[in-house]
Amino acid sequence: MVIDVNLENLRSQMKLDPEKVSFSLETFIREYMESLERDGVVIGLSGGLDSAVVAALCKRAVGAEKTLALMMPEKDSKEDHLRDALHFAKTLGIQTKWIDLTPILGELGTYKIFHLNKISFLGKSIKGAIIRAAYRYYDRKIGETPFASSLRGLKGKPFITLLERGNAYYRIKHRLRMVLLYLFGELENRLVVGSANKSEYQIGYFVKHGCDDAVDISPLLNLYKTQVQELARYLGLPSTIIEKPPSPDVIPGMIDEEAIGIPYKLLDMILLALEKGWGNVEIMNTLGIEERKVVYVKTLIERSQHMRKIYTPIPLTP
């Protein structure tokens, strides 16, 4: 098979028809809600791009009166994210519930895991600066990001205690949100709708069994992050949500692109090229990048494969 290695062709394939995509996803949400005999949908609304797009699609698909948004902040959540989530929910006119996770996480001892929390005079901005510096130091010292190191187990890896504590600290927050989404999903007979996109899913930038993984449906899972941004513009999302740097908002100071180690625009083009069967040299020459960046993305895909698959034993022969 002849592969068309052409930058403009790659860019054209990244483009989408937002009206057509929106209609298709609205139909998908509505049909699954009905086929699974649910009375409505429930989403986690964080103030970020992906969850806002899902909220808008749900409202268009099943109506504001059947759409419930849970806002589940905790003490590390940024105020502007919360403000954006509240304002957008009011704009849509959807139902909302506000649940502060701080007391629950405190009871679980989560905040004690993170050593910086023990220094009472440190604000979020100072904590964020320290965390970013530590993240960059790890990358320079080890030659890969803490994110990449944590996609599998940590056996034999340097700074293992810090990685273990960091992973436990932020992953429990996603998993607690998943529990609450299903609590209200089952209490009110609602479909749990996730917000994961294709870019993050392919490289493992999500929490296994977290609020974007353990869901009933994932409308955005076939869209790259830059395509979600394009869809957001069509849906009329506020510029404050579309243009803000994407962030997991679970550890002070971190944004997605710094955590991942590569900008979404470049990541999406590499992922699409790999999907189309391009080789390393073809990608690096066409995109004008170093081969190590292509290798890095392929490494993330390979290491995170277990997060997208349930492993079962080989069937026993009679």
pLDDT digits (tens, 9 = 90+) for 101-151: 999 999 999 999 987 887 777 788 898 899 999 999 999 999 999 999 999
Please give the residue range of the domain that contains residue 21.
Answer: 7-304
Do 247 and 256 contact (CB within 8 A), yes or no?
yes
Question: How high is the mean pLDDT of the chain?
Answer: 94
Instruction: Compute the average pLDDT of residues 25-46.
Output: 98
Judge whether residue 252 has pLDDT over 90. no
Q: Residue 12's Cα: distance from chain center in Å?
A: 25
> Which tens digits make up the pLDDT trace of 174-188?
999 999 999 999 999
Contacts of 221 (CB under 8 A, 6+ apart): 194, 196, 197, 198, 201
Instruction: Compute the average pLDDT of residues 70-82.
Output: 94
pLDDT band with cut points at 50, 70 and 90 for residue 317 = confident
Residue 6: the pLDDT is 85
For residue 104, being part of any structural domain is answered with yes
What does pTM read for this prediction? Answer: 0.94
Look at 160 and 317; give whichever has higher pLDDT: 160
CATH of the domain at 111: 3.40.50.620
For residue 220, being part of any structural domain is answered with yes
Residue 244: the pLDDT is 92
Q: How many domains does the chain have?
A: 1
Q: Residue 287's Cα: distance from chain center in Å?
A: 25
Residue 3: the pLDDT is 65
For residue 1, being part of any structural domain is answered with no
For residue 87, being part of any structural domain is answered with yes
For residue 185, being part of any structural domain is answered with yes
For residue 317, being part of any structural domain is answered with no
> Which tens digits make up the pLDDT trace of 253-289?
889 999 999 999 999 999 999 999 999 999 999 999 9
Judge whether residue 4 has pLDDT over 90. no
Residue 121: the pLDDT is 73
Residue 213: the pLDDT is 95
Residue 114: the pLDDT is 85
- Encode the chain in three state secondary structure: CCCCCCHHHHHHHHCCCHHHHHHHHHHHHHHHHHHCCCCEEEEECCCCHHHHHHHHHHHHHHCHHHEEEEECCCCCCCHHHHHHHHHHHHHHCCEEEECCCHHHHHHCCHHHHCHHHHCCCCCHHHHHHHHHHHHHHHHHHHCCCHHHHCCCCCCCCCCHHHHHHHHHHHHHHHHHHHHHHHHHHHHCCEEEECCCCHHHHHHCCCCCCCCCCCCCECCCCCCCHHHHHHHHHHHCCCHHHHHCCCCCCCCCCCCHHHHHCCCHHHHHHHHHHHHCCCCHHHHHHHHCCCHHHHHHHHHHHHHCHHHHCCCCCCCCCC
For residue 195, being part of any structural domain is answered with yes
From the list 285, 306, 310, 295, the residue with the least C-alpha distance to 262 is: 295
For residue 315, being part of any structural domain is answered with no
> Which tens digits make up the pLDDT trace of 224-238?
999 999 999 999 999
Contacts of 92 (CB under 8 A, 6+ apart): 55, 56, 59, 64, 67
Q: What CA–CA distance (Å, rounded) separates 193 from 213?
A: 10
Instruction: Compute the average pLDDT of residues 33-45.
Output: 98
Judge whether residue 2 has pLDDT over 60. no
